[in-house]
Amino acid sequence: MSTLGIVPARGGSKGIPGKNLRRVGPRTLIEWTAWSALPSRLDRVIVSTDSKEIAVEAERVGLEVPFLRPGELATDASLTIDVVQHALSELGSSWDTVMILQPTSPFRSTEDIDRCLELFARTKPDSVVSVTEVGDHHPARMKSIEDGFLIDPPFAEEVEGQPRQTLPKLYLRNGAIYLTATQVLLNGSIKGSRSLAYVMPEERSLNIDNEFDLRIADAVARTNEPT
């Protein structure tokens, strides 16, 4: 099974300016992805970016940048599926599968990547998507607000403060790994209809979306760098 790794890393970010070049502990976010992806069983790993600065950093840490992404695919409204399809149009679509590796998941490991590849090869789904258990942020505890009053959703916990252990286990996509059959991507979907879960622990599931996430990740990396 041949697999292309794609690292989508656009230059603009309103939430965290220069996000993909920011440092978490000893590495930039781009370098964290290279650190886990390059020793893995991926056949090739490329970066899709519109930024020359990101391209320079990607090549410094050993990642390929075979093209620069057009500006219309690097806006806040750009969809990942369009970015992946553009990469396949540039490189050819002969790969069996494509793995999307977002730089905002710095603690994903080489073992996580290889286990997803093994799971896909063994079961032949449309995709394998990494998730983590929601834990204390269970949707049954969530509320909406109407006129200032808390409103329970239809799926609310049976009693206020229901023990977490008695709630059904639910999982959240953590953004670390999307491994998808190329034909499914060409048909316009990132996960298809048969998507297998790859469950990752909380300590490797941090997804950086804002400055607070960045500070947490930096503290984790400096005190206990994941292996």
Half-sphere exposure of 157 (CA within 13 A, CB side): 18
Question: Where does the pLDDT of residue 225 fall: very low under 50, low under 70, confident under 90, or very high at 90 and above?
Answer: low
Residues linked to residue 179 through DSSP beta bridges, in sequence order: 99, 128
Check the CA dihedral 83-86-87-92 and report its sign: positive
Residues 69 and 143 in one domain: no
Contacts of 146 (CB under 8 A, 6+ apart): none
Domain boundaries, position 184: 3-134+172-220
Number of separate domains in the chain: 2
Q: Residue 225 falls within a domain, yes or no? A: no
Residues 18 and 59 in one domain: yes
Tokens of 20: 């993909």
Q: What is the CATH number of the domain that holds 42?
A: 3.90.550.10
159-173 pLDDT, tens digit each = 677 777 777 788 999
Q: What is the C-alpha to C-alpha distance for residues 178 and 116, in angstroms, rounded to an integer?
A: 9
Question: Is the pLDDT score of 72 beyond 60?
Answer: yes
Give the other-Cβ count within 10 Å of 49's Cβ: 26
Residues 61 and 110 in one domain: yes
140-152 pLDDT, tens digit each = 887 889 998 889 8
Residues 56 and 157 in one domain: no
Question: Where does the pLDDT of residue 114 fall: very low under 50, low under 70, confident under 90, or very high at 90 and above?
Answer: very high
pTM above 0.95, yes or no: no
Calculate the average pLDDT of the chain: 91
Select, from the ranges 68-82, 115-129, 150-164, the one with the highest average predicted confidence (pLDDT): 115-129
Q: Residue 94 falls within a domain, yes or no? A: yes
Instruction: Indicate the burial class of 128 (C-beta count within 10 angstroms; 0-12, 13-18, 19 or more).
Output: buried
Whole-number pLDDT of residue 153: 84
Q: Residue 226 falls within a domain, yes or no? A: no
- The answer to whether 103 touches 113, Cβ cutoff 8 Å, is no
Tokens of 188: 């316009």
Residues 216 and 130 in one domain: yes
Question: Where does the pLDDT of residue 227 fall: very low under 50, low under 70, confident under 90, or very high at 90 and above?
Answer: very low
Give the other-Cβ count within 10 Å of 166's Cβ: 10
Residues 145 and 204 in one domain: no
Question: Is the pLDDT score of 155 beyond 90?
Answer: no
Q: Residue 127 falls within a domain, yes or no? A: yes
Question: Is the pLDDT score of 216 beyond 60?
Answer: yes
Task: Provide, rounded to the nearest whole percent, the portion of the chain with pLDDT above 70.
Answer: 96
Question: The tokens 């403060």 sit on which residue?
Answer: 161
Residues 180 and 155 in one domain: no
Question: Is the pLDDT score of 198 beyond 80?
Answer: yes
Q: Residue 49 falls within a domain, yes or no? A: yes
Residues 139 and 190 in one domain: no
Whole-number pLDDT of residue 45: 98
Residues 83 and 155 in one domain: no
Residues 67 and 178 in one domain: yes
Averaged pLDDT, 181-202: 96
Q: What is the DSSP letter of 219?
A: H
44-55 pLDDT, tens digit each = 999 999 999 999
